[in-house]
Every structure is written in C-alpha cells, then in structure tokens.
Structure 1
Amino acid sequence: MNLPTCLTFVCGIASVLPSAVLAQSLPADEKTSAAQLPGSGPEDSDSTKPQGSETAGSDAAELEKLAKATANPLGAAWMLWFQNDYTHMDGDNDALPSNGRWANSTKFQPVMSFPFDVGDDEWNLIVRPVVQYQSSPLDDSFGDALQGRAGDIPTDKLLSHNYPYNGRTTGFGDTGLLTLTGPARDDGLVWGVGVTQLFPTAEEDVLGQGKYQAGPAVLLASLAPNPGGWNVGVLAQHWWSYAGDDDREDTSQSDIQYFLNYRLSGTELVGMTPNVRVNWKADSGEKVNFPIGLGYSNVIKINKLPVRFAVEMQYSVVKGDEYDADWNLRFMFIPVIANPFKSY
C-alpha cells in the first residue's frame, strides 16, 4: 500500500480519470443546505418544541447518515482524508538488520464528489488526488546505486556493506490521481469504473518510481442498509508506465484494496480494509504482498465538525522474500465537509 506536487488535475478530470481507507449519497429529500453540513445550521427558534431528547435523536440520525456516506466509495460526501501507515519492513536479505526496519507514510486525499445525470439516473464522479509524505529506512544513495529501482535491495553480499541501512530518506513521494464514476446509490450494490494515474513527483529516487503511469480502476461493493449487516467490496487499480526517466524500470503493478466491515452500530464499523499489492515485473516470490487486518472505525463530532476516525492493525500473510512489508499499523482521520453541489 504507498499520503504520499503536481497533480495535473485538469488531465485527470477531463478524461474522467482517478489509494486502501469512502462516501455515500444521502436522501435527496433532506432539507439541509448544500452549503452546510447537517447539524451545523442555526438552532431551531421555535421555543415550543422539546429541546432535549429530540435534539439528541436528531444528532444521532445525522451522524448515522454521515457514517453511511463516508463508508461508500462512490457517494456524495466530501472528505479531507488523512491516513498514516507505520510499516515494519523485513526479509531474508543479509544486508538487512536482524530486526528489520520501519517505514512511515502519510497520505492526504481530498475526496470530492460531483453529481451528474445519465438519462433519468443520477451518477457521481469521484475525484481523489493522493499526496504522500514518506520516511524510508533507506539512504537516498540507494536510488543511484539501483538505477532508481526504489524498494529493491541488493542481493550481492559483496555489495551489501556499501548500503547504509542506518540512513533514512524523508520527503514527498509520487502523486496519485484516482477518478471513478458510477450510479449514485445509498446502499446495496455499488459499482464504478474509472482511470488511475501516478505522477513522478518524488523528491528522491528511493521515495518514488520515476515514471508516469496510468491504467484502469474498478469498484464493486455491497453496502448494508442498516446496522447488523456487512459492507463488502473491492477497489482495484492497475498502472502501466508510459513515460518518465529512461534509467528507471518500466512498471506494471496493481493495488487491490478490499474491505470487509461489520456495521456494529449506526456509526461504528469493525473489520478490515487492507491493500493487496502486486508487482507483475518482480521476480517469483517477490510479486505479491497480501495483508489481512482487524480495525475499528467510528464517526463523531468535534465541536460541529463530523469526523471519521479509524485504527487498524494489519499483517501480511503473503509477502516478498527479500524485502517487503510485514506488519502495518494504520490510522485514519477524516473530516467531512460540505458538498457544494449536493446536500447530504
């Protein structure tokens, strides 16, 4: 999975183009203004209406709607998605310390939804740029030594001592852009298709791949309408390189984020949302990293701002032999903001 700075936004949106940590349309008959979030408007001035339990019940209903909205990858919610992954890297390579090394990636993903009509049906266009700031347990000299094959580890034991594993490289990585479009549905079967792109904006070779990349994106999910049900789905992205640094290797890689979450209550989810990574050009035994996990997510209000937060521990049951992610601790902090084009 890796908040990760030129987005080339116009290119992505014009071609209806395009992460692993999600929004849902709310009924059109809600009277909340499109310029404000539910619960953020002025207080009811009718002094004859009860204020206690009725207000609490209204707030709970609003939070439940927002919880559904933020759990739908193709919904109406606008979100400021912050995700941090603290990852233990390990492998069989003799150059690695016996206890492995730790990497950190912080991603920022503003998730924006734009409604439009297809015949009599309403569809959503999701635009999701991804900016990432990384700390890699590799010295920046790795990039030159490996001809830019970021993430690779030299297997020649005679060269191992030349690579300073005590070093660390920190900075911005490559930038992504995911766009998806599909029918706007609150729950049930949700699907979307689009294009995903990667741009070589990394500050150092070891923080990126040095290639312009693009490919298809597909979403398929089943979302429970009420607590006690399951949200199950997959968002698959694939990239091929088409331009960039000639000294860097061409790419063919996939990121498949699957989610399996139980709706514990109106706002709470328990389950997992890991990212399966496949490098189709890697050697046998190094192609796939397949994690499983267990996490908890809830939607609360901080003052009047709705926020989804989540924490999840993941373990890779399938991983590369030489050097790959082993354990991962993921945190998500996701403020929900008003959609200027549609009320929730």
Structure 2
Amino acid sequence: MAQDKADELAKQLSNPIASLVSVPFQYNIDFGIGPDGDGVSQTLNIQPVIPIRINESWNLISRTIVPVKWETNIYPRDVFGIGDTVQSLFLSPTAPGPGGLIWGVGPVFNLPTATDKLLGTGQFGIGPTAVGLIQEGRWTFGTLANHIWSVDKNAEVNATFVQPFVAYALGSGQTLTLDTETTYNWNSEQATVPINAQYTKVFTIGDQPASFQAGGRVYVNRPKYGPDWGLRANFSLLFPK
C-alpha cells in the first residue's frame, strides 16, 4: 500500500464518522473482577461502521456494536453468549464546519439481544448521541458521547457514556491513540473510567486494506468488584470509497 493512501486511511480511522466503511472485530479482556479478583471478562465487539450519503451536504453514519461475551469466575456459573446491541446513527455534514470542526448527532438505541440474562439488561433503551472532532496535521482531538434511558417503567438502563480521545499519526499508516471510555450509571451512582493507550497500523492483505490495533488499559475508577486492568486487540477490514 502506498504510504499516502495508508496515512489517509489511518486518518479516517481516527474519525468515528468518516466516510469509510469499516468492519472492526475488537477483542477486549479485563482482569481483577469480583471479590477475590480472579474474575475475567472477555468481549469480542463486532462493530461495523457504514456511512450512507444522503445528498451532497449530508451523510448518515451507522455504527453498530454487537458484543460476544465470555464471563468466567464472576457469576455463580460461567457465561458465554451475545450481549445487548448498541446502535448509533449520526447525521453529519459532508464538509467540516468553522475551524475544521467535524461533527455528528443522532439517536442511540440499546437493543435487548442478550442470549443470557447475565449478559444484558433485557430492556430496550434510547437516547441522544453526538461526536465532535478536529483533525489538524498529524493530530486528531475529539469526544464521542451518548446517554441511554430504558423505555421500560423500571428504568434499569440510565447511563451516560463519554469518550474523549486524542490521536497522533506517526506516518506509514501508524497511529497512537489515548482515550477514556467513561460510563456513569445514574441508578447506582457509579462511574467506570478506563484509560486506554493503543497503537494502530494500516496494511493490506492482497488488495484488501485492513488495520490492526493493540493496546492496554487501567481502570482509574471502577465500581466495587470491577476490573483493575485489561488488554485490547482490534482487526478491521476497510472499504474506502
């Protein structure tokens, strides 16, 4: 892959609402869970991103997260299956705004697709989501956020997610990213705050563009019996227009 093309794809990957079809397979493993600290949570997030061109001025970006989970030494029994699906839709201008601002807003949905009650809420949820970022030179700065309420009267889902991120392009399709993926549960009044550091490399398999990402995280704040630290590996298929 030519270096310029690899760098452009790497730049688009740092933008959650870029006009780039991608199919990431993101594997996460977290350690230190439970009262004894021997619980392990593994999640494979299948999260396709599909931009849809509405007209010359606007795009609609679909971001889907389908988690496949394996929880061991956390519950009275080990659990494997699919968790709840999170579906986001962003309406975004095709051209950056003042100051180079790239932004998108829309709805987010929690779909009760869990195959086991221990892996999901069992409730349908809905709320707003938004993202804003600026890409200048080798740097990308931005924040993605959403809030989901369940429509069920029991309101078991009432959570805010905030993900500020900064990425630096190293060249040759390589990127370093630092972010947090903070979730605040308003029902339990508990915050989960992991700090993630990740390295990404764009490459090709034959003629197929792809990327690989690896990194780790530490939890600077967690609910009681939550994880201490974790690792991440991400393989993405890329389909540039």
Give the TM-score, by structure 1 length.
0.65
In structure 2, the CA distance between the partners of 1:232 and 1:317, relative to structure 1 (3 Å rule), is same
Q: Which has the higher strand share?
A: 2
Give the TM-score, by structure 2 length.
0.91
In structure 2, C-alpha distance between the alignment counterparts of 1:115 and 1:85, rounded to whole Å:
32
**Residue number in structure 2 paired with 1:77:** 20
Q: Secondary structure at the match of 1:209?
A: coil
After TM superposition, the structure 1 stretch with the greater mean CA deviation from structure 2, 214-223 or 61-70, is 61-70
- Aligned residue type for 2:65: V
In structure 1, C-alpha distance between the alignment counterparts of 2:92 and 2:172, rounded to whole Å:
25
**Residue number in structure 2 paired with 1:102:** 40
**Residue number in structure 2 paired with 1:305:** 208
Unaligned runs of 5+ in 2: none
Q: How many residues align?
A: 239
Is residue 135 of structure 1 aligned with residue 80 of structure 2? no
**Residue number in structure 1 paired with 2:78:** 168
**Residue number in structure 2 paired with 1:50:** none
After TM superposition, the structure 1 stretch with the greater mean CA deviation from structure 2, 263-272 or 126-135, is 263-272
Task: Please point out which of 305, 308, 315 is paired with 2:218.
Answer: 315
Q: Secondary structure at the match of 1:85?
A: strand
Q: Secondary structure at the match of 1:128?
A: strand
**Residue number in structure 1 paired with 2:57:** 122
The question of whether the paired residues in 2 share the 8 Å contact of 1:214 and 1:241 is answered with yes
In structure 2, C-alpha distance between the alignment counterparts of 1:238 and 1:249, rounded to whole Å:
13
- Aligned residue type for 2:198: G
Task: Please point out which of 75, 83, 105 is paired with 1:193.
Answer: 105
Instruction: Indicate the percent of aligned positions where both proteins have the same amino acid.
Output: 27
RMSD: 2.1
CA shift, 1:249, in A, is 5.6
Is residue 242 of structure 1 aligned with residue 162 of structure 2? no
Q: For residues 259-279 of structure 1, what are the alpha-carbon distances to aligned partners after superposition, in whole Å with 9 as ceiling and x for unaligned?
A: 111111152111223311110
Q: For residues 300-323 of structure 1, what are the alpha-carbon distances to aligned partners after superposition, in whole Å with 9 as ceiling and x for unaligned?
A: 111111112111111111112x22
In structure 1, C-alpha distance between the alignment counterparts of 2:88 and 2:122, rounded to whole Å:
19
Q: Secondary structure at the match of 1:171?
A: strand
The question of whether the paired residues in 2 share the 8 Å contact of 1:172 and 1:202 is answered with yes
**Higher radius of gyration, 1 or 2:** 1
Q: Secondary structure at the match of 1:75?
A: coil
In structure 1, C-alpha distance between the alignment counterparts of 2:80 and 2:51, rounded to whole Å:
32
**Residue number in structure 2 paired with 1:268:** 174
In structure 1, C-alpha distance between the alignment counterparts of 2:147 and 2:227, rounded to whole Å:
20
In structure 2, C-alpha distance between the alignment counterparts of 1:237 and 1:203, rounded to whole Å:
24
- Aligned residue type for 1:111: V
Is residue 61 of structure 1 aligned with residue 4 of structure 2? yes
Unaligned runs of 5+ in 1: 1-55, 143-163, 339-343
